[in-house]
Amino acid sequence: MYKVITYTGQTENTIKDLLQEYGYLLITLDSGTSFRTHFSPKFKASKIDLNLTRRFPNVKFKLVQGLEAEDIKSLYETKTKTASTPNTKTVIKKILLGNPIKGVPELMSEDLIKDLLPLVNSEWKSEQAMLFVADNYPVSHEDIRNNYLCLSREFRVYVNYLPNFYEIYNSIEV
């Protein structure tokens, strides 16, 4: 099994250290495109750095058109059963804060989120928490749904919205 990391500009020395520590290293790369643009045309997929693959011939790299590095890592972890279940409060905070760099709008200020989070039941599924927020705060159901689809790494998002999901999922080697 590989140690999986998403490439976020790690130095060559960091990558060499990880390779030495784990023996097997899989680095997931951004493809430059994302299936998430279907939910938000403003969504900005991350850029590709293919020079990295030339510098490390002994490292395995995975790039899938239409996916970002985090998506590939999430699918790999699901397939190898190493994925952790995201905390509902963490998911809601991520959805409401958005990611302006990726073109996903902030829906609520951090101060309001701090007041809201204690009211979110940790036992709820993401959908229940999103409904609670939309029903009790000035945030639309549609905005919450779009942010969820743009930012979530939950398996059901891939199954339901990723074109060619099964083909992509089966191409991930463990």
Summarize pLDDT for 18-69 with one digit per residue, the tens: 989 988 899 999 888 999 998 888 999 887 767 777 777 778 889 899 999 9
Query: CB of 113 within 8 A of CB of 87?
Result: no
Q: What is the pTM of this model?
A: 0.87
**Is the predicted pLDDT of residue 147 greater than 90, yes or no?**
yes
* Ramachandran assignment for 163, one of left (phi > 0), alpha (psi -120 to 50 degrees), beta (any other): beta
Q: Over the range 125-142, which residues count as b (16 or more CB within 10 Å of their CB) and which as e? A: ebeebbebbbeebebeee
Task: State mean pLDDT over 67-86.
Answer: 90
User: CA–CA separation, 73 vs 77, rounded Å?
Assistant: 6
Higher local confidence (pLDDT), 115 or 56: 115
* Phi, then psi, of 22 in degrees rounded to 5: -100, -20
CA dihedral 171, 172, 173, 174 (to 10 degrees): -150
